[in-house]
Amino acid sequence: MDYLGAIGAYHEIIKHYPLESEAYLRLGRLLAGEERFDEAIDVLRQGLVIDSQSREILNTLGGIYVSTRKHDEALAMLQRYVSLAPDEPNAHDSLGLTYQSVGQYELAIVEYNRALAINPKFEVAIVHLGNVYFQMGQYHQAIKLYERYIEVAPSDMERARGYRYIEQVYLKKGDNARAVETAKQTMKYEKTYSWAQLLLALYRGEVAKAEQLKQELLAKYPYTTRGTRLSMRYLSYYDGLISLKSGLANEAIASFSETLRHAAMYWDIDSFDDCLANAYLELGQLDEASEEYKRILSFNPNYPLVHYHLGQTYEHQGKRDRARTEYEKFIQVWKNSDADLPEIIAAKKWLTSQS
């Protein structure tokens, strides 16, 4: 986990072996893990000059462009990857992630299904497809895909991920009993870390327990992801939630603001892009909430629940016409969602009351 040492070593390799394209790939990934994105892009582009057909460099560069909200550049890299490897499921999965990151969910589903048509047991595409359905409010379908993912997952870590995602779906649905049972399943496979327990404690309002679990996680950090540092969004996000539940408004806002300064986890079930906006809404800071929700919609016009929460914001401000517009957009975006979700029920009820 000496990332700076590794970066120095790869610079030395490139100095002595400037045509070694894999060194550019590894260095680019490390730099991206340190959130030195401009440097990472420059290094990876140098690697492409040496090997213009490198699928791994195209894939990595595309992922960095997604993280930095450069959608057009990401599409160019990943469409090129698909053209070079049309029968490689990972190419379609990566392109699907790009579409998903900007709310083009139907196009993402097409690409994930193409990946699975090539390899029905390609577990990465299965879990990403589950995430799309979760973000579209189709929780029942998402759970089925996470269960399928658990069946084909190649490691205990991946099985724990599947159960943790199912736990998050049940918590969103307000089904705490099933969330508890799923968290127990998660812990069978996730013996080292405490993500599932921490999430459950926060939803139950057990702030002291959540703080204890956070300290356990801190003692075991940093995690790695394919040899690079994992995004620090996780810890600052949970810091913000603990502060919010503890009534520490300023600390919560500071932590959520810090969360958004770190790279988005576009590949995860939740990228936490709306954490600051949701905190503003909960704290009654409505002007700040509306501006933050509009910022999110500028890069993803279909971001989960943002139209709903922006509708709530306008409703609290007495801006009924704007609230109506947002609730109608929300229902349109979630037109195929599960019918029993509380947000869908509330939005339809409010619109009916205003007719």
Each residue's pLDDT tens digit, 221-257? 555 566 777 777 888 998 999 999 899 999 999 999 9
CA atoms of 17 and 13, how far apart (whole Å): 6
**Range 10-19 burial, b when 16+ CB lie within 10 A, else e:** beebbeeeee
Nearest 5°: CA angle at 223, between 218 and 224?
165
| pLDDT given for residue 225 in this prediction | 62
Would you state the structure tokens that stand for residue 85, as one six-digit string? 């490897």
User: Residue 295 corresponds to which amino acid?
Assistant: R
For the chain, the structural domain boundaries read 279-355
Q: Count Cβ atoms below 10 Å from residue 342 Cβ, excluding itself.
A: 10
| pLDDT given for residue 8 in this prediction | 97
Burial label, 83 (beta-carbon count in 10 A; 0-12, 13-18, 19+):
exposed
In this predicted model, what pLDDT tens digit does every residue of 126-155 receive, in sequence order?
999 999 999 999 999 999 999 999 999 999
Q: Are 33 and 5 in contact (CB under 8 A)?
A: no
**CATH superfamily of this structure's domain 279-355:** Tetratricopeptide repeat domain (1.25.40.10)
**Range 227-238 burial, b when 16+ CB lie within 10 A, else e:** ebbbbbbbbbbb
Provide the percentage of residues in the chain whose pLDDT is more than 70.
96
Mean pLDDT by 10 residues, the chain (355 residues): 93 97 96 95 98 97 95 97 98 98 97 98 98 98 98 92 94 89 86 72 84 76 63 86 93 97 90 97 98 97 97 97 98 96 96 92
